[in-house]
């Protein structure tokens, strides 16, 4: 997808601090971290947002969550816990139109999910 920064990261045209990669999924550190641990997990395939998901994407999205589990174990923050957030559309403030899952942690997160 042209002009998609996350597609460019997948293609290696924009650098990123990679945390995990396989043929379908990529995880990298957020450039502007909102918490001590802030990792973005994306499918390599371009999907703009949650509302574009199709039934044929179900396995891929399941894999995103098992990858998050893998990353939490590998990076050693499984025990302390973390939060996963996916923004979708205008009201959520989604800035990058390539579906992504924020892993946030490394400190006690506020009880409020909505600020
Ligand atoms: P969202 O508001 O859910 O669309 O989040 C987009 C996230 O992408 C923000 O937390 C940004 O800091 C992050 N971001 C934007 N560009 C880059 C980049 N080149 N590398 C890593 N993270 C990025
Ligand atoms: Zn993309």
Q: What residue spans define the domains of the chain?
A: 5-105
Q: Which ligand 1 atom sits closest to the C-alpha of 34? A: 10
Average pLDDT value for the chain: 96
Q: Please say whether the dihedral angle defined by the alpha carbons of residues 12, 14, 19 and 23, taken in this order, is positive or negative.
A: negative
Task: Give the DSSP H/E element, type plus range, for residue 111.
Answer: none
Residue 85 CB–ligand 1 contact under 6 Å: no
Residue 14 CB–ligand 1 contact under 6 Å: yes
Q: Which ligand 1 atom sits closest to the C-alpha of 87? A: 3
pTM: 0.97
* DSSP state for residue 56 in the 8-state scheme: G
Q: Model confidence over 78-92: pLDDT tens digits?
A: 999 999 999 999 999
Q: What is the rounded average pLDDT of the residues 5-25?
A: 98
The CATH code of the domain at 5-105 is 3.30.428.10
Token representation of residue 69? 């589990």
């Amino acid at each position: 997808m042209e002009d998609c920064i996350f597609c460019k990261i997948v293609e290696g045209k924009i650098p990123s601090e990679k945390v995990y990669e396989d043929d379908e999924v990529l995880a990298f550190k957020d450039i502007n971290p909102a918490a001590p641990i802030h990792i973005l997990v994306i499918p390599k395939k371009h999907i703009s947002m949650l509302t574009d998901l199709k039934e044929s994407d179900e396995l891929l999205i399941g894999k995103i969550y098992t990858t998050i589990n893998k990353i939490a174990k590998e990076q050693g923050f499984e025990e302390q816990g973390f939060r996963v957030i996916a923004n979708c559309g205008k009201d959520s403030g989604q800035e990058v139109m390539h579906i992504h899952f924020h892993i946030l942690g490394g400190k006690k997160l506020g009880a409020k999910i909505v600020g």
